[in-house]
Structures are given as structure tokens and as C-alpha cells.
Amino acid sequence: MSETLTAAEIAAKSLFPTYARYSLALVKGEGSWLWDDKGNKYLDFMSGIAVTNLGHAPKRVKEALVKQLDELWHVSNLFQIPNQAEAAKLITDNSCADAVFFCNSGAEANEAAIKLARRYNQMVLNNGRYEIITFEQSFHGRTLATLTATGQAKVKEGFAPLPEGFRTVPLNDLPALEAAVSGKTAAIMLEMVQAEGGVYPVDPAFMKGLVALCEREGILLIADEIQTGMGRTGKLFAYEHYGIEPDIFTMAKGLGSGFPVGAMAAKEKLREGFTAGSHGSTFGGTPIATAAVKATLETIVEDHLPERAERMGKYLMAQLRGKLAGNAFVNEVRGLGLLVGIACKEPIADIVNGAQSRGLLVISAGPNVIRLLPNLLVTEEEIDTAVTILAELLEAKRPNA
């Protein structure tokens, strides 16, 4: 009789241990809900880490994918790809960008942004600039360039020597940023909300000073919208909250509702930086991927989901603040739209595990922050359920509880 192995046992034998995986094997999803291989049901407040912004298996995206699967899967980017052009137009029509490059992931999108910033400075402006300034606790990806750009030492361990040309300064510290700028500075790159780094929205006054600095010194501004984009923060892109227009911004995660796709978008002047043959991606912007992008963006825009995310995010934070008021274990509830963090005084790994055992999936953002990322169509009833579970778990952590 052959041995029957669980998914976890097969993974342990066959996969690199790059993830600290839970034992759950999730096999079905619909809306805000997931089911494991044992039939247990979970309320999903992770959304695949801000990926399934329309919930699991959204009908319009599914129909677009099924239709495209019956027609054409892949051709080279040496040919015209109608879906890709139409998806790019949806992005430029609804943002400050004029040109789009499609790739496969957020790391690749940020890699493209870094390359474009350098090449524009060196090949178009002919000024030789190449340095990118980023911020402590930021997260920009796992390629060698993007992990170097990331402001967290833990992601860099064991990968030396790292590429040169990156400087990191504290977030919201304008004097430190100004001191880091030099004649080598090509761009400043940041997230409008540091999601992985603890759910920290950028201070508006700092952002104003940063933009003024970029304009004064001729520095490009790159907005990493990988986790904050696609309506999650209450705007289609989080830079809109600050009344600014970055020169370059990046997207992935929620861009394809779970289908792997990323994109880098930029202002018209930067089009000269990426000429034929200067950058590319075999699988970037395939007919299948951009069918998912089109259906996702059309749904977000036509159904006014950023506005809904803003409204539901305010409801979520109000409910959390009300339920957690007076709990000395909790420092604060912070965030923007449906990117919310509960900052606690001590590590919260047991809270995340406890929530999972009660049928709620959440994730951390550093050791002491519970990160909540429900889909943009989450209901008040689902929010109430999640808040009740978290409040009860955090009540047990209250000092002298």
C-alpha cells in the first residue's frame, strides 16, 4: 500500500524551506471566505497579502480569464497584444502616468523602476546619476537590487556583496533625507504606507518637503504602490491621498486579482529612458495576464471600490478603536483605507495563531503589529466578526486580565 502524505509533508520533502508555512492547506475560496482540505471555513483578512482585492474568484475576472484561455495564451512581446495595450490605457486613463511596462511581480516592477530611473538620468539627461534613496523599514522586493533598496537588514543577510547605489534614511526625517542627497542621486523611492514595515502612513508634511526637494534638485520620485495600489487605501493609488504625482510608480499584488502580474508606470518624459531593447520580460503582459488586469481595473473603477474601501476602512478602524479602548496591551490602531495595523506592546504571533484557530486569517507586519487586509468588498458583518475575535484575543493579553 502506497504512503499517503499530507500537503505539508510533501512540501517539506520537495520545496525549499523559504516560507514559515502554516499547516493549513487552503483549497477553495469565494468572496471573503476560504476553506481548507478538511472542510473548515475561514474569514480571510489577509487577501493573499493584499492580492485578492476583489475577494476570491471574482466573477468578472474569472469570465475574462476563461474566455482568454479559449483563445490565446502567449505570444512574444515582439507582436501587438491588444489586451496589453487596453490594460495600459486603463492605467494611464486613471492615473498620472503616460506609459506602462508590464512584468510578472512587484519585485520586477520595482526593478524596472530602478533601471528606468538610472537609464533616464544617464542616457537622456547625461548626468551620470545612479543612486536611489529609500527608507528604513521599507520593503521593495527580493531581487538583489530590490532587497538592497529595502530598509530592513533581515532580508539582506547572506546575500553580500550587495549592489552599490542605494542609500537608506529614516522615514519622516526631512533633514536626514536632505543630507543624503548628492550629485549622484537619481531618485527617491518610497511606499505611501509602509505595509510590511509596520503599517506606517507617510507624514503629509514630510511628503510635501520630499516633493519640494525632488523638484529643487531634479530628482525623480518613485512611488511603490505594490501593496497600497488597486484601491486598497481608499484611492486607486495611495499617492492620490497626498495630492502629488510621482514620476514613476509600481503595481502588482491586486493588479490581477491573484493572477501573477506586475507593472511599472511613468510620466511621458521618461518614455525616452526605455527604448527598444533596453528592457524586457518574456512573460510580461501576456494575453492571459492582461485579461485579468483589464477585468480587475474595470471592476474597481466602475464599481467605485476605492471609495468603498475608504468607507469600510473607517468603519473597521472605528470598531477596533472602540472595542480595544482601554486595553493597555494595544498601543494604537493605524492605517489607511483597508490597510490597517493594530500595534501592540509585545509580539503578537500567538494572536495570529489564535485567530486562525477561531476561523480568522490575519498576518503580522513586524513582530508587534497585527495587519488586516480584507478585500474591498468586505461587509460590515464580516468586519464585526473579525473585530469580535481579535478583541477577545487581545483582551486576554491585557495586563492583569
On the 0-12 / 13-18 / 19+ scale of CB atoms within 10 A, 359 is: middle
Residue 22 and residue 163 in one domain: no
In the DSSP assignment, the letter for residue 31 is B
Question: For residue 1, is pLDDT > 80?
Answer: no
Residue 28 and residue 111 in one domain: no
Among 44, 102, 166, 224, the one annotated catalytic: 224
Percent of the chain clearing pLDDT 70 (strictly above): 99
Domain of 277, CATH number, reads 3.40.640.10
pLDDT digits (tens, 9 = 90+) for 232-249: 999 999 999 999 999 999
Q: Is residue 401 part of a domain?
A: no
Q: Which of 237, 247, 245 is nearest to 268 (CA)?
A: 247
Among 44, 247, 253, 274, the one annotated catalytic: 253
pLDDT digits (tens, 9 = 90+) for 108-131: 999 999 999 999 999 999 999 999
The single residue listed with the C-alpha cell 510608480 is 249
Q: Is 98 helix (H, G, I), strand (E, B) or coil?
A: coil
Looking at the structure of the chain, the number of domains it has is 2
pLDDT digits (tens, 9 = 90+) for 5-61: 888 899 999 999 999 999 899 999 999 999 999 999 999 999 999 999 999 999 999
Q: Is residue 218 part of a domain?
A: yes
pLDDT digits (tens, 9 = 90+) for 157-210: 999 999 999 999 999 999 999 999 999 999 999 999 999 999 999 999 999 999
Q: Is the sign of the CA dihedral 292, 294, 297, 301 positive or negative? A: negative
> Where are the strands (E) in 180-245, listed by range?
185-190, 193-194, 200-201, 220-224
Percent of the chain clearing pLDDT 90 (strictly above): 96
Residue 108 and residue 12 in one domain: no
Neighbours of 123 (CB within 10 A): 13
- Name the β-bridge partners of 334: 341
Residue 190 and residue 335 in one domain: no
Domain carrying residue 281: 72-302
DSSP string of 278-343?
SS--TTTT-HHHHHHHHHHHHHHHHTTHHHHHHHHHHHHHHHHHHHHTT-TTEEEEEEETTEEEEE
pLDDT digits (tens, 9 = 90+) for 64-112: 999 999 999 999 999 999 999 999 999 999 999 999 999 999 999 999 9
Predicted local confidence at residue 2, as pLDDT: 53
Report, in angstroms and rounded to the nearest whole number, the Rg of the chain calculated over CA atoms.
21
Distances (CA, A) of 312 to 16, 305, 378: 38, 10, 8
Last residue of a domain, one of 247, 281, 302: 302
Q: What is the mean pLDDT of the chain?
A: 97
Judge whether 102 counts as a catalytic residue: no
What is the bridge-based pairing of β-strands 339-344 and 330-336?
A: antiparallel
Predicted local confidence at residue 401, as pLDDT: 57
Question: Residues 268-297: what's their mean pLDDT?
Answer: 97
Judge whether 16 counts as a catalytic residue: no
Domain of 311, CATH number, reads 3.90.1150.10
Q: Is residue 65 part of a domain?
A: no
Q: Is residue 64 part of a domain?
A: no
Among 101, 102, 139, 329, the one annotated catalytic: 139
CB 43 within 8 A of CB 388: no
Question: Residues 242-270: what's their mean pLDDT?
Answer: 98
pLDDT digits (tens, 9 = 90+) for 319-371: 999 999 999 999 999 999 999 999 999 999 999 999 999 999 999 999 999 99
Residue 180 and residue 273 in one domain: yes
Predicted local confidence at residue 195, as pLDDT: 96
CB 191 within 8 A of CB 138: yes
Predicted local confidence at residue 290, as pLDDT: 98
- Name the β-bridge partners of 250: 224, 264
H or E segment and range at residue 391:
helix 380-395
Judge whether 101 counts as a catalytic residue: no
Residue 159 and residue 141 in one domain: yes
